[in-house]
Amino acid sequence: MKQREANFSWNMPPEGLSAGKPAEANSAAGKILLLIVVMLMCIGVVVVYSSGAGWAQRKFSNPEYFLWRQVFFTVLGIGTVIMFSQVDYHHFKKVSKILLFFSMILLAGLLFFKFIGVIKGAARWIPLGPVSFQVSDFAKYALIFHFARLITEKRAFIKDLNESYYPLLTLLLCVVSLIAFAPNFSTASLVAVIGFSMMFLGGVRIKHLLVTAIPLIPLAGVFAIAQPYRVSRLLSFFNGGDDQLLSYQVRQALIGLGNGGLFGLGIGASKQRELFLPLSYNDFVFVIIGEEFGFIGSVAVLFLFVAFFVCGLVIAKNAADGFGRFVALGITIAITLYALINIAVASNVLPTTGVALPFISYGGTALLFNSLGVGILINISRKRDVVAVPEAEMSITGGNG
């Protein structure tokens, strides 16, 4: 079929070139990625303690409550990275369908319990003893695994509407809808972006994606304004020229970033953390970084996520097979996207959402799933000479006409 749009292609070297430059680059990318993640986790421990001590004293009469829980999950996260870096990522290909449908069952189950009144408020968490399990994190990674499998298996007819695009779109819309009705509109939107990005990189026709976006974007807009709290967030953002119309959180966040100046106030010297900025240890943790470490510290954290993104792309480009390539792309896009959205919200570039900063914000579920993702990325970087590369999987071709 004649191509009507320019392709971008990541060519892979012939099989057996494990000692060449691509293999060396992949190995180096995996090691640098591990260093970046450990640095982000360490920053998270310091900042969560600094930002959460006042809130922990108020809520739990223990200023170190958030600290020790964050240390626990950080150690567990590093262990998760190490463990899954040793597990062959092809195991996830074998069970991807089971993981995806199990995650959908869990999401549907939460909605059912919400419908019958067992769950009050948002149906996002499953309590597991002293911790809670956020199902959307599980669903996000299950979707990445299964999309990577389907895109790889459908490479020969990826541009076909009925055989390829509709099955992928149906699965994506099912997962996104279940998350959105929790309600968790911000996470649903990000999962949709991840799914469409993987389809585009997999070679799905741009015109199919655009035709889908035409009705979906207005529908998402209607859904976004269906709840008063989302309307108030949007009004607060778009009327941001008037300080009096900014939400309390946004005002306090901007004050905190302004307080930091170029070099920051110093570790533990944040003024906003002392019960002025809600969720300063979670959704708005980047504000505390900006206040205590200044503009330079904020840019350094942003640089770490950019470096993470570059390492993820290098690993994807030199993956041993199509499945590994698209898993690496999906994980890299997911973690980087969450980071950029969190930073943009803290800086009032985007409306307020409940998106945590990967590896830094307080919390266990997201940290562990992202650690799982990093472990898989490192494992993919090590598999250069293990799997034969079929001719059909020798390149990544962006959506063609």
Q: What is the secondary structure of 200-211 as a DSSP string?
A: HHHT--HHHHHH
- Give the span between the Cα atoms of 392 and 321, in whole angstroms: 10
- Which tokens belong to 210? 């655009």
Question: Mean pLDDT lowest for which of 29-33, 177-181, 277-281?
Answer: 277-281
pLDDT at residue 245 greater than cutoff 90? no
For residue 81, give the nearest of 41, 109, 118 by alpha carbon: 41
pLDDT at residue 394 greater than cutoff 50? no
- Give the span between the Cα atoms of 359 and 9, in whole angstroms: 31
pLDDT at residue 368 greater than cutoff 80? yes
Tell me if the pTM is above 0.85: yes
- Give the span between the Cα atoms of 356 and 240, in whole angstroms: 22
Q: Helix (H, G, I), strand (E, B), or coil: what is residue 385?
A: coil
- Give the span between the Cα atoms of 248 and 233, in whole angstroms: 11
- Give the span between the Cα atoms of 330 and 202, in whole angstroms: 11
Instruction: Please tell me which of 42-56, 101-115, 264-278 the model is most confident about, judged by mean pLDDT.
Output: 101-115
The dihedrals phi and psi of 135, each to the nearest 5 degrees, come to: -65, -30
Percent of the chain whose predicted confidence (pLDDT) is above 90: 53
Residue 255 burial (10 A CB sphere; 0-12, 13-18, 19+): middle
Average pLDDT over residues 204-212: 93
Contacts by 345-351, CB closer than 8 A, 24 or more apart: 345/283, 345/284, 346/253, 346/257, 346/283, 346/284, 346/286, 346/287, 346/290, 347/253, 347/257, 347/286, 348/237, 348/240, 348/246, 348/250, 348/253, 348/254, 350/237, 351/233, 351/234, 351/236, 351/237
* Contact between residue 163 and residue 157 where contact means Cβ atoms under 8 Å apart: yes
Task: Concatenate the DSSP letters of all residues of 48-96 into one string.
Answer: HHHHHHHHHHHHHS-TTHHHHHHHHHHHHHHHHHHHHHSS-THHHHHTH
For the chain, what is the mean pLDDT?
85
113-127 pLDDT, tens digit per residue, is 888 888 887 788 887
pLDDT at residue 275 greater than cutoff 80? no
Average pLDDT over residues 333-347: 95
CA of residue 128 relative to chain centroid, distance: 23
Average pLDDT over residues 149-168: 92
**143 vs 283, higher pLDDT:** 143
**pLDDT of the residue at 62:** 86
**pLDDT of the residue at 393:** 44
* Contact between residue 206 and residue 163 where contact means Cβ atoms under 8 Å apart: no
Question: Mean pLDDT lowest for which of 63-72, 81-90, 331-340?
Answer: 63-72
What is the pLDDT confidence band of residue 7, given thresholds at 50, 70 and 90?
very low
Average pLDDT over residues 257-263: 90
For residue 55, give the nearest of 252, 272, 256, 254 by alpha carbon: 272
Task: Concatenate the DSSP letters of all residues of 158-184 into one string.
Answer: TT-IIIIIHHHHHHHHHHHHHHHTTT-
- Give the span between the Cα atoms of 182 and 111, in whole angstroms: 6
Write the CA distances from 171 to 139, 140, 142, 153, 362, integer angstroms.
11, 12, 11, 16, 31
Average pLDDT over residues 380-385: 78
For residue 324, give the nearest of 7, 110, 137, 93 by alpha carbon: 93
- Give the span between the Cα atoms of 378 and 121, in whole angstroms: 38
pLDDT at residue 287 greater than cutoff 70? yes
Percent of the chain whose predicted confidence (pLDDT) is above 70: 85
**116 vs 316, higher pLDDT:** 316
pLDDT at residue 170 greater than cutoff 50? yes
- Give the span between the Cα atoms of 106 and 136, in whole angstroms: 9
Bridge partner residues of 127 (DSSP):
132
Helices (H) and strands (E) in the chain, counts: 13, 2
Average pLDDT over residues 275-282: 78
**pLDDT of the residue at 401:** 55
